[in-house]
DNA sequence: AATAGTGAGTTCACTATTGGAACTGAGTCG
DNA sequence: CGACTCAGTTCCAATAGTGAACTCACTATT
C-alpha cells in the first residue's frame, strides 16, 4: 500500500489519524477499554491476523497509547494496557460510536456502561469546551486571521 | 490488503470505522467542512492519488456522508458536499483533533473557527449526553446486564 | 517420560490496496 | 488550432493485509 505518512503534517487531525486512523486500531482500543490485555485475547476477540496485530500493538506502544508490561517472568507473558493518553482516547471512540448509533442501522453500542457521575447509561456528545453547547458545523465560522479568541 | 469488512458487525464503533476508518477519509471530510467541493481541489489539497480519491468519494456518497451534485451540465462538473449525516461527523473529527492537540507535539488545529454561540474559538470536548459532565473512562462501569439506565 | 496445551509472536505464500504517472474525453478560452 | 480545466480511468510496481502453519519457552496432564 505504501501508506502515506501524516506524521509530519501540521494538522492535529492528520496526526491523530496517523495514530488511530486505520480499520483495526479503534477496535483494539475498544477492547483494551473493555479490559482485554493479552495478545491472544485481542486476536480471538477481533479475528485480526496475528502479524497485523503485532504491528498495531507495537505501533500503539510506540505512540504511547498502550503500555506493554511483563507480568510473568517465566514463562514470559505480556500485558497491554491503556496509558493515560490511551484512556483519553476512549471518549473520542465513544463519540464515533454515538454517530454510528444515530445514523447507521442495527447497531449496538460498543460498550454498555454506566456513568458513575449521573448514574445513567453513558452516551457521548461533543460540545464546545468553552461554553458547553453542542458543537455543530452550522455554528462555526472562520476565525478572522490573527485572532485567537 | 484484503480489507476486513465490518459492515455486518453489531457494534456502533466497528460500523463507524467501516465508514470513516481509513487514513484519508477523515481528511477528506475535514476539507469538505472547510469548503472544498471539487475533485481536483481535494486532490490538490491532500496529495491523495486520484484513483484512491475516486474510491473514497464514491464510498462516502454510498454511505450518505457526502452528496454528489451536478453543478454544470456542459461541461459536466460535479460538486461534493457534506450531507446532514456528514455535517454531524464534523464534531467527531474535532474531538479527534482535540486529542491530537493535547497529546501530540507541534500540531495546529485542523480548522480555526469561531463558535458563534459563545464567540470564542471552538474546541471540542466529549461529555456525557445525559449530565453534561466530561466523559472519562474512570467514571464508567459496566452496566448490570438487562439494565438500560 | 511423553504428550498436549498456552502465550506471544514469526514466517510464508497469496491477494488486495495504494501511489504515481500517464492517459481519456468533454468542453472552454484565446 | 492549440492550450487548458475538470473529472475521472488505466496501468504498473510497491506495500500491506490475510490465514495458516510454525517456533519457542514453559506448564499441566496422563
| B47, closest residue in chain A (CA to CA) | A4
Which one of B6, B56, B122, B146 would you mutate to disrupt binding with A, by most A Cβ within 10 Å of its Cβ? B122
pLDDT tens digits, one per residue of A22-48: 999 999 999 999 999 999 999 999 999
Retrieve residue B118's grid coordinates: 459563545
Residue A73 has a pLDDT of 87
3-state secondary structure of B102: helix
Residue A16 at interface with chain B, using a CB cutoff of 8 Å? yes
Q: In the predicted model, is pLDDT for residue B149 greater than 60?
A: no
The CA distance from A130 to A148, in Å, is: 13
CB distance A29 to A85 below 8 Å: no
What is the pLDDT confidence band of residue B106, given thresholds at 50, 70 and 90? confident
**Residues paired with B113 in a beta bridge:** A142
Residue A113 at interface with chain B, using a CB cutoff of 8 Å? yes
pLDDT tens digits, one per residue of B48-81: 999 999 999 999 999 999 999 999 988 889 999 9
pLDDT tens digits, one per residue of A82-132: 999 999 999 999 999 999 999 999 899 999 999 999 999 999 999 999 999
- B66 φ, ψ (degrees, to nearest 5): -120, 155
Chain A residues in contact with B142 by the CB 8 A cut-off are 111-114
Chain A residues in contact with B85 by the CB 8 A cut-off are 103
Return the closest nucleotide (C1') to the Cα of B48.
Answer: C19
Q: How far is CA A51 from the centre of its chain?
A: 21
Structural domains in chain B?
Answer: 1-83 (1.10.10.10), 89-136 (no CATH)
Amino acid at each position: 500500500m505504501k501508506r502515506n505518512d501524516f506524521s509530519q503534517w501540521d494538522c492535529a487531525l492528520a496526526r491523530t489519524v496517523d495514530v488511530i486512523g486505520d480499520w483495526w486500531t479503534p477496535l483494539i482500543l475498544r477492547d483494551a477499554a473493555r479490559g482485554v490485555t493479552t495478545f491472544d485475547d485481542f486476536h480471538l476477540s477481533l479475528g485480526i491476523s496475528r502479524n497485523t496485530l503485532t504491528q498495531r500493538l507495537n505501533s500503539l506502544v510506540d505512540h504511547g497509547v498502550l503500555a506493554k508490561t511483563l507480568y510473568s517472568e517465566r514463562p514470559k507473558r505480556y500485558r497491554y494496557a491503556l496509558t493515560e493518553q490511551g484512556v483519553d482516547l476512549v471518549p473520542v471512540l465513544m463519540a464515533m460510536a454515538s454517530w454510528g448509533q444515530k445514523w447507521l442501522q442495527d447497531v449496538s453500542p460498543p460498550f454498555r456502561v454506566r456513568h458513575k457521575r449521573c448514574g445513567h447509561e453513558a452516551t457521548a456528545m461533543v460540545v464546545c469546551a468553552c461554553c458547553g453547547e453542542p458543537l455543530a458545523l452550522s455554528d462555526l465560522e472562520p476565525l478572522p486571521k490573527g485572532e485567537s479568541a
